[in-house]
Each structure stands twice: as C-alpha cells, then as structure tokens.
Structure 1
Amino acid sequence: MTRIPAENLAAQFAFLEEADRLKKILRATPIHDDSRPENSAEHSWHVALYALVLADHAAPDVDISRVIKMLLLHDLVEIDAGDTPIHGDFDAAEQEAKEKRAADRLFGLLPAPQAEEFRALWDEFEAAESPDAIFGKSIDRVQPLALNMSSGGGSWREYSVTLDQIDTRVGTKVSRGAPTVWTYIRDRVGSYFATQN
C-alpha cells in the first residue's frame, strides 16, 4: 500500500465520512432475527467476516487479505446507485452504469494513489475473473442465504423465490469459488424449501 502524505488527510476523511452513508442503504435481506432489514454497511462487514472465517475453503491461490479489502469496498457504490436485490426486477445495464459513475465519484474523493488502488480492487471484484474476486463473489452470495434461512425466509418470501432460482442465480457463483461451502449451504437451503411445500 502506498504511503499517503499527511496533507491528504482531509481527502481521506471526506471519503470516510461519505462512506458512513452506506449505513442508510437498506437491503432486501433482513437480519437474522427478521426484526429489520440489514443495511449495506452491515452486509459489507459481515461478508468480510465470512471470508475470514471461511478462508480455508478458498482455492490455494486466493489472498484472503485482498478478498477482505474487496468485500469492504464492493458495495460502497450503493450510496449513489442503491441496492439491487438479486431476485428483484431491474435493468442490469442501467444499474451497472450507475454503479460505475458512483465508483468514479466515491473513490475519486481519495488521494490519487489510494483512489487508484481501491478502484482497481472494486473493478477486479466486479469482473470476477481473478481467484480473489471469484472467492469474494462466492462469499457475497452465501451470506444472504444464511440470513434468509435464519429469518424464516426473509426476502425469499417477498420475491417469491424458488429453489431453482437460488441454484441458477446464486449456486453457480458460490460453487465457482467455494464449492465445499456451496455443498454445505445448498443442503440447508434445500431442507428449508422442502419444509415450505
């Protein structure tokens, strides 16, 4: 990481203060006790913790410290672009354009070397081609599954989600980067849906 001179502290604090707005972005997924929606800041922290805890299930060439950085940064764009539930109805191209504009603005608040580093991590995560990003994307999909199960269906009820939708929209991404995690969580998800019929 590049050392940032002290005269850039104002820019760094401006970014940190702007990042606090992520706490106001509500997601479709409720917290585990179903008492309220999870916010995007909570989600970012929680998926970073998931990556740390589940690191042994990553491919050998995955750098967990980079994955954690990606996960802490990945949803900051929702400050401007909003959350897009995976099972919701939205224009993917339009959402992608909004997120890229948000990334330009938000990471642009930082001093140049840091802005470039963080934006590169965000872009790498979005592309989901490197081993680190593939594992990060997998873990980003696992956490909502666990919350929806512990909350009695959570956003699955709201969006009338089926097991087939979970397999195609979520399972493919999770199994790509964390196959043993997918096997474990898929059994639990399957059992949940079996009780709903």
Structure 2
Amino acid sequence: MDIKRLQKQMAFLLEVDELKNVLRQTYVTNGSRQENDAEHSWHLAMMAIILEEYANEKQINTLHVIKMLLIHDLVEIDAGDTFAYDEIGHADKAQREEEAAERIFSMLPEDQADMIYQLWREFEERKTPEARFAAALDRLHPMLLNHQAKGKTWKKHDIRREQVLKRNETIAEGSEDLWEYAQAIIEDAVESGYLR
C-alpha cells in the first residue's frame, strides 16, 4: 500500500464533506429549509439512474453521468453556490470555480486529480451526450423542488416565467422529453401562482 497516496485520498474525501455546508437557494420539497449541495448531488445521481431512458442519446453511459453529477459542484466548497438568476454573481463564476477546482482537485494523487478535473470540465462544456444529459438533470432538479415547495425560491427572488424558460431551455439538449415535462411544470407553476 502507498500510504502517501492513501493519505491524499483521505484528505480529499474529508475536504469534500464540506459540500454538506454549502447551502443552495432551492428549498427541500416540503419547504422547511434550503437544501445543501451534497443533497443536490445525491439527488441528481438518483435522477440519472431513474431517468436514463429519457436521454436523447439512447446508448448513454449512465455511470459516467453519475460521476459528473457527483463532482460537478465540488468547486462550490470554495466558490459558493451562485444562484441561477444572479447575473452579477455569474460575472466571475467561471474564474472562482476554476480556482476552486485547482485547489480542491489537486489534493488528490495526480492521476485522480486529472480524472476529476476532466469530468468537471466535461460537465461544464456540455459537448458529450453524457454531459448534456447531466446538465439537463442539473437544470430540472431545482425546478422540481421549487414546484413541490410551492415556488418558495421563485417567490423569494421574484422570478418570472420567462426567466425560468430561458434559463432551462438547454434541458432539451440532453433530453427533449424532460424539457417537455419541465415546460408543463413551469406552466402549472404559473397557473398555481408559484411563478409570475
């Protein structure tokens, strides 16, 4: 056993436990509290398993999707969660996240640091079918929670239907079926008074 390698891996695993402390703007389904990034990542991985049949590409590698979903928000340990509709926060988001990726991923042995970084970049660039499907799930998830929590986050930030449609139209790149479903959620949210 290479004890130095194991020590680096353990240090990384303890560091990423901090993801549990990064709160998102989205509330859990009963509206009682904000979800954290670790809960979000776990729920996305579960969605990938259950909803894989709706990916645009029928031969999608679901394990690869799950890997991306589990690591895609690790950078938020340092960079924080940038609210989807925060235009000012998005101005320097890429830089903050790149710096976070460098620090956090470099805790691992070099081969694993490179693997995790490549997965993170793939998710961010959305060029592969797996990345597009992972991104579709990442966009759909807060909509599901928002709708279930009676629009708590949308109301809190005075979010409009047009904003939600524009922000989430990329769901269709990974799953046209899930985009159709998402649009129905949006329309129901408007009719129910959850969304302006």
Q: TM-score range by the shorter chain?
A: over 0.9
SS in 2 for 1:121: helix
1:91 Cα deviation after fit: 4.1
Match of 1:174 among 165, 171, 175: 171
How do residues 66-145 of structure 1 correspond to structure 2 at under 5 angstroms?
66-145=64-143
Count of residue correspondences = 193
Which whole-Å CA distance do the structure 2 matches of 1:41 and 1:90 have between them? Answer: 25
Match of 2:61 in 1: 63
Q: Gaps (5+ residues) in structure 2?
A: none
> Where has structure 1 moved over 3 Å in runs of 4 or more?
4-7
1:5 Cα deviation after fit: 4.6
1:68 Cα deviation after fit: 0.3
Residue by residue over 1:42-68, the C-alpha shift from the partner in whole angstroms, topping out at 9 and shown as x without a partner, is 001111111111000111242111010
What is the aligned-residue RMSD (CA, Å)? Answer: 1.4
Which letter does structure 2 place at the counterpart of 1:156? W
1:76 Cα deviation after fit: 0.3
1:83 Cα deviation after fit: 0.2
Give the conservation status (yes or no) of the 8 Å contact 1:88–1:159. Answer: no
1:6 Cα deviation after fit: 5.1
TM-score when normalising by structure 1: 0.94
Q: Gaps (5+ residues) in structure 1?
A: none
Which letter does structure 2 place at the counterpart of 1:101? E
Which whole-Å CA distance do the structure 1 matches of 2:45 and 2:5 have between them? Answer: 27
1:93 Cα deviation after fit: 3.9
Residue by residue over 1:69-117, the C-alpha shift from the partner in whole angstroms, topping out at 9 and shown as x without a partner, is 0000000000000001111242434111010000001110000111111
Match of 2:29 among 32, 39, 52: 32
Query: Percent same amino acid among aligned pairs?
Result: 38
